[in-house]
Amino acid sequence: MNIEQILNSSVDKFKQNIVDFCKNDNQEDFSFTKAIEFISFLKGELQIIGQQTIQTYFESKDVEQASIEMGNKKYIFKYKGEKEILTVLGKVRFNRSVYQQSRGGKSVSPLDVKLGVNKEFATPDVKEIVLYSCAHNTPEETSNIIRKCSLFEIHPTTIKRIISHTGTVLEANKDEITDLVHRSAEHKNQEGEVVVCSLDGVNVLLNEAGTRKGRPKERPDKEAPTPVSAYKNAMCGSVTFYKIEKGQENTYPERITSRYVSRMPEERYQTFKSDFETEIKSINYSGTKVKIMLTDAHKSIKGYLDDNPLYKDFERLIDFFHAAEHLSLLAENIFGKSSKEAQAWYSKYREILKHGNCGVDKMIRSAEYYIGESKLTKTRLGEAQKQLSFFRKNKQYMDYHRFLKNGWPIGSGVIEAACKSIVKQRMCRSGQRWTRKGGQTILTLRSHVKSNRWDTFWKSFTDINYRLCA
């Protein structure tokens, strides 16, 4: 039966079913409930027509030959076999030719390869829907959303299989996929007067044994210790493009767009650093006036930046709000926590630090004076000296006055938000514990979504996956 015949047959049956549904309709009994019932009925009928048409169309593309060649190998026709796949219109079964080498081995179906479902149980568009949703929701939530909003259903366990397989392909072909995304016109056309790069860490609960801090408790009954889950630091990196706007009183940065990379916890963050540097190297700097590295002052980040020649031509700045936290601690230890003197000194020198020329030097001199004049306890003196040392070591990265004058950003809000929106919102829900592989798949998908380049990523991924399944 060809497509025209099955369409005619399906349409005739569709018409008859509509007539049967409507023949007992009573105008007076019509309500929104009846309307919803009719729409649901209509959806089911259209789904059936779609499934039948897909089946016939696929089977019409199957070619039966005595033998074929694939990958420089000769295969002999064996039989016509049925395959079931999940499409956006639901499950579809169709018959296609299956071939095998004369000496045996794995069988192949050219039609499966052409459809992109060789060794697969779902069409690429179904997988995209599933994975895009799972970048935002759990497999259970995704299953329920799809059941409510589409014409197909998929079990959470099946969704997890799709995620697992996708993760394997993503990691094995990470560099090629990234290169294809970076070579896209969408990526190359992104530029800004100011490019700000940032990186930070965020804790994720891993599904593996952790370690207890301090001396372990000794119990008389000698029970085995309870396994400890491990919180480890995942990493996020952001590259943000700004244009400089001129206001009536000052200039200020207006954010254009941001790109993100993220990795699950790993030793010394080597993969994350490589991915982050690849993202930075891919930037179109043709319209860029300044490159800025804006971070907190964590010693591991500082050491990484100090030792890397990639960042030599970057302006570096410590996030102002991070510096202000240290200033608050300094004030508390010099003048006393919650004292009026501490609040007054903090407010004054926060403003000087932010807007004053050489503001950090002025603040340091004032702090040194009050530390010398005050009779502090050993504990408070030690803490005050610790906070003061922070400013002495990092004052070269605290030129907030110049940054504000030029209209450059001084806060790391973008990377702070990325840690929350990319990692915490999806991966730190109650009861969630992650394997490194499974977590990385979600982080990769979510990073592409938040970078507004899902379509480019998905095309690159499907092209590679199609090649691998052939």
CB 97 within 8 A of CB 59: no
Residue 129, domain member (yes or no): no
**Do 458 and 315 fall within a single domain?**
yes
CB 198 within 8 A of CB 311: no
3-class state of residue 206 by DSSP? strand
In degrees and rounded to multiples of 5, residue 103 shows phi and psi of -90, 5
- Domain edge (last residue) among 354, 380, 401: 401
Which tokens go with 345? 């000194």
In this prediction, residue 7 carries a pLDDT of 75
The answer on pLDDT for 229 being more than 80 is: no
53: burial class by Cβ within 10 Å (0-12, 13-18, 19+)? middle
**Do 225 and 288 fall within a single domain?**
yes
Torsion 405-411-417-419 (CA) sign: positive
The answer on pLDDT for 227 being more than 60 is: no
**Do 251 and 351 fall within a single domain?**
no
Report the alpha-carbon distance of residue 453 to residue 460 in Å, rounded.
11
CB 58 within 8 A of CB 95: no
**Do 208 and 289 fall within a single domain?**
yes
What is the rounded average pLDDT for all residues in the chain? 92
Average pLDDT over residues 173-199: 92
**Do 311 and 217 fall within a single domain?**
yes
**Do 435 and 335 fall within a single domain?**
no
String of b and e for 290-312 (b: at least 16 CB within 10 Å)? Answer: bbbbbbbbeeebbebbeeeeebe
**Do 312 and 424 fall within a single domain?**
yes
Residue 293, domain member (yes or no): yes
Average pLDDT over residues 179-186: 91
- Domain edge (last residue) among 358, 383, 401: 401
- Domain edge (last residue) among 348, 374, 401: 401
**Do 327 and 305 fall within a single domain?**
no
**Do 335 and 284 fall within a single domain?**
no
3-class state of residue 397 by DSSP? helix
**Do 421 and 302 fall within a single domain?**
yes
Which tokens go with 286? 């043709």
Residue whose token pair is 């759990």: 138
CB 409 within 8 A of CB 321: no
- What are residue 459's DSSP bridge partners? none
More reliable by pLDDT, 48 or 4: 48
Helix axes 270-281, 174-182, angle to 10 degrees: 20
3-class state of residue 354 by DSSP? helix
String of b and e for 421-441 (b: at least 16 CB within 10 Å)? Answer: ebbeebbbeeeeebebebbbb
The answer on pLDDT for 188 being more than 90 is: no
Residue 397, domain member (yes or no): yes
Report the alpha-carbon distance of residue 158 to residue 172 in Å, rounded.
22
The answer on pLDDT for 217 being more than 70 is: no
pLDDT band at 26 (very low <50, low <70, confident <90, very high): confident
The answer on pLDDT for 25 being more than 90 is: no
pLDDT band at 220 (very low <50, low <70, confident <90, very high): low
In this prediction, residue 55 carries a pLDDT of 93
In this prediction, residue 124 carries a pLDDT of 95
Cα separations in angstroms, 220 against 26, 212, 227, 362: 79, 19, 18, 59
DSSP states of 421-463: IIIIHHH-STT--B-HHHHHHHHHHHHHHHTT-HHHHHHHHHH
Q: Which amino acid appears at position 466 of this protein?
A: Y
Q: Which domain holds residue 270?
A: 175-319+411-464
In this prediction, residue 12 carries a pLDDT of 85
Residue 367, domain member (yes or no): yes
In degrees and rounded to multiples of 5, residue 326 shows phi and psi of -65, -35
Cα separations in angstroms, 375 against 334, 339, 371, 406: 9, 16, 8, 42
CB 83 within 8 A of CB 33: no
231-253 pLDDT tens trace: 999 999 999 999 999 988 889 99
CB 33 within 8 A of CB 65: no
CB 206 within 8 A of CB 231: yes
The answer on pLDDT for 302 being more than 70 is: yes
**Do 253 and 391 fall within a single domain?**
no
**What percent of the chain has pLDDT above 90?**
79
pLDDT band at 256 (very low <50, low <70, confident <90, very high): very high
In degrees and rounded to multiples of 5, residue 127 shows phi and psi of -60, -40
In this prediction, residue 221 carries a pLDDT of 58
Report the alpha-carbon distance of residue 271 to residue 263 in Å, rounded.
8
Biggest CA-to-CA distance, the chain: 98
3-class state of residue 122 by DSSP? strand
Residue 437, domain member (yes or no): yes
Residue whose token pair is 């993503």: 170
54-112 pLDDT tens trace: 999 999 999 999 999 988 899 999 999 999 999 999 999 999 999 999 888 889 999 99
**What percent of the chain has pLDDT above 70?**
95
How many structural domains compose the chain?
A: 2
**Do 360 and 418 fall within a single domain?**
no
In degrees and rounded to multiples of 5, residue 211 shows phi and psi of -125, 145
Residue 311, domain member (yes or no): yes
pLDDT band at 215 (very low <50, low <70, confident <90, very high): low
Residue 1, domain member (yes or no): no
Tell me the CB-side half-sphere exposure of residue 465, using CA atoms within 13 A: 26
CB 223 within 8 A of CB 321: no
The answer on pLDDT for 291 being more than 80 is: yes
Average pLDDT over residues 312-331: 97
Report the alpha-carbon distance of residue 267 to residue 256 in Å, rounded.
33
